[in-house]
Amino acid sequence: MAIEAWLAFTMASIILTLIPGPSVLLVIGQAVAKGKKAAIICILGDVIGGLLLIGLSFMGVGALLATSAVLFQIVKWAGVFYLAYLGYRQIMDAKNGADFIVETQEESSSWASFWAGLITAVLNPKAIVFYMAFLSQFIDPDRSMALQLTIMAITSSFAVCIPLGGYALLAARARLMFQSRAAQKKVGYTGGACLIGGSVFMAATR
């Protein structure tokens, strides 16, 4: 991979992550409602989801999604309903007085955050279009495909982790300002609203 192509891929990946979208709103929602640890685990799931998209693109699935409008819409709306469901569940938990800091729920909550991040990344139309329709433009066919894939995977991981990590830290810091049960209920509503907002954003993506 030429240095120019790598720089272009890096900038495109960072911009893709920085622009508020389903993954950003999901991470913010996790940080606000469940704390920094849940948000970090969610980011890990998002990174692995991005790596899966890169792998699927190289396997040719990207070309299939890029040419099939129906299949693309199915994937897109699956993501829309999934995020909306997560937001609804979070709002219901807040309404029913669920305690977001109960230690016995930490392990299951961590896995839920991981899968939420992974599934949202894989079903994110913005990421699908980028990885599966434009990824080939950064590839040099005369160079090692395995090496270029490795470089892209590492670059993409850092490009996702750093911006999303910044969003998570800011949201988690804001969460610490609300410690009472009544405030935590409002935090839960806010987190759920972020997830539903992510689903709306995903629905509006073409």
Stretch 88-104: mean pLDDT: 62
Q: pLDDT digit string (tens) for 119-150?
A: 888 887 777 777 776 777 777 777 887 888 88
User: What's the confidence (pLDDT) of residue 181?
Assistant: 61
Residues 6+ apart with CB under 8 A from 109: 34, 38
| Residue extents of the structural domains in the chain | 22-204
Sign of CA dihedral 18, 20, 21, 27: positive
Q: What CA–CA distance (Å, rounded) separates 16 from 128?
A: 11
Q: pLDDT digit string (tens) for 184-206?
A: 666 667 767 777 777 776 677 65
Confidence of residue 182 (pLDDT cuts 50, 70, 90): low
Q: What CA–CA distance (Å, rounded) separates 139 from 115?
A: 30
Alpha helices (H) in 69-180, listed in sequence order:
69-95, 106-122, 125-129, 145-175
The structure's pTM equals 0.74
Q: What CA–CA distance (Å, rounded) separates 15 from 88?
A: 29
Q: What CA–CA distance (Å, rounded) separates 179 from 7?
A: 43
Q: What CA–CA distance (Å, rounded) separates 155 from 62?
A: 19
- The answer to whether the beta carbons of residues 193 and 26 sit under 8 Å apart is no
Written as one letter, the residue type at 201 is F
Stretch 63-67: mean pLDDT: 60
Stretch 70-86: mean pLDDT: 76
